[in-house]
Structure 1
Amino acid sequence: MLFRSSGQCYSPPKLNTAILKNSSKSVFDIGDTLIYECLPGYMKKKIIAICLESSSWSSVNDDMCKRKTCPTPADLLNGRVQTTGSSQFGSTITYSCNEGYVFILFSILSAAIRCDLPPTIPNGRYRKTQEYFYYGMVVSYECNTGPRGEKLYDLVGQKTLYCTSEDNKVGIWNSPPPQCITLAKCQTPVIAHGRIVSFTRPPYLLNDAVELECDPGFTMKGSKIVRCQINSQWEPALPMCFREVNCSLPEFMIGAQNVSTKKTYNFGAIFTLKCDEGYMLEGSPQSQCQEDQRWDPPLAACKSGKYSMSILLGSILLIIFVGVTLAIISKHREG
């Protein structure tokens, strides 16, 4: 069972009469579109599926591709032509001779473009419905199952191939066959200070998705939805839950240039201090909010440049005063 989160669509619709042309993604945003193209044997047409706000795809189905109609077969001299229902793509006709006559030519088959037998795949097979495969014919693959029909492998790639041609002479299959790989099983995702909230239950197989959330008082960093991949790993990587921490700024920061109305910062946030003209920075210009709600290094301060100059001037005057005093005392002793 796949969990569907609001704001995203998963698992593009699979059609037996059309092939997906423009995407290999497995997760789609609202408004994303998919383009399908009808298979040979069907009227050439493009079908569009849209990811809706309900996190579901707009309606697409096999009936949107209309089968081509073959011309009515000509009468057979000294024989009969029998159709099975209709003359649409996929239908068959049977030729038979009147008593006393035999076939001497079957021009229909002699003119058809023929493909080699579909490629075989390890741990899987194609559904064989005929001995020969001609232009437009379709073949479907499936993976082997256990003795009780249990699933043993994941089918990866195009499930359906069709016979086509690039030169109207030699038949080829439209794509490589799919693969049957060892069943992907992901371990139950566990995050500290968090839990699973989706309804998907183990075992977690290929493309299964789960939604995670943090315990009250904790904030999530990363994606809340993860999906089981071919390598039996969750992607994106499992998120982390951090305790909600707020570091505060002093109510007044004299001489600070970039202090906004924001007075609290979350864990890991960095505050950079710049001073107004005429003020000097004392301390590190950057401090980071820690888990214990303190800033590291401690917040710097902006000190008035005039105040600093007065201290410097006072120090110089003191040195001069001491020097003059010592000189007077020295002369007095000499006299």
Structure 2
Amino acid sequence: MADEAISVVECPVYDSLKNGRVKASGNKYGNVVELQCDEGYYLAGKSSLKCGANGNWDDDFQTFCAENQCVEPSGISNGFVSASSWKVGATATYTCSEGFRLHGSNQRVCSRNGKWNGSDPYCRMVICEVPPPVEHAKTFDALTQYLYQFEVRYVCKTGYFISDGDALLRCSESGQWIGKVPKCSLVKCKEPVAPAKSKVLVASLTYGSEAQYLCFPGYRLKGSTTVRCDETGNWKGVVPECVPIASGNPPVVANSIVVDSGDHTYNNQILYNWHVGFIS
């Protein structure tokens, strides 16, 4: 009886791997295949398989390429992160709590290598810089930093008023002051009204200035001679009046009759009529 031919054990041909590549030296006993996944996938199983004496590859279970995914993105202090999934291409979005501002990118993408690109952003408390000083305004308790929603109020010094801008500024979530820095201007009074038979002298209409009243000839001043422009923009003091200067009764002249209207004020006249037989 002739010797039976001896043949080498062969394993099934291993020439493809979904989402991966196969590098094989053959499929006979002792041959080895190397398995490698495409970018964005990782190997679930052995990376190399050997054809065994039983005609099978020494693989305990079917090796396959699984799609990479990222781990759950870590949270951030004073904020939160949301992601629709952790697969490759997924986006994680970071948001800060009210009163905090995000530093860094607000989004990270799950890369093919299974890692989130970039670095974790962080939330920093919103801080506004010291508000600018305003000329002729009272100083307030100055801090080195002002937190979100903090308010500062400008108050003009006595004799000044806010002519432009806002008295109240508020620290916004952007770290900027909301409102327009005000301007303090000097208070002004209106032109004073001169009472009858008088004139008024005014050097200035601004706060602290005085208006002086002078009566026309034949009149005297009744009341204060001056009023002052106060912090409210009004003249402080009672406006005087000019009253006619009155003379006493006219003198009695012998041998005459006086014609007297009874008005003995400035520029009024009386008339003397002589008795018969008398002349002046």
Please report the TM-score for the alignment, with normalisation by the length of structure 1.
Answer: 0.23
Q: Bigger radius of gyration, 1 or 2?
A: 2
Which structure's residues are more often helix, by fraction? 1
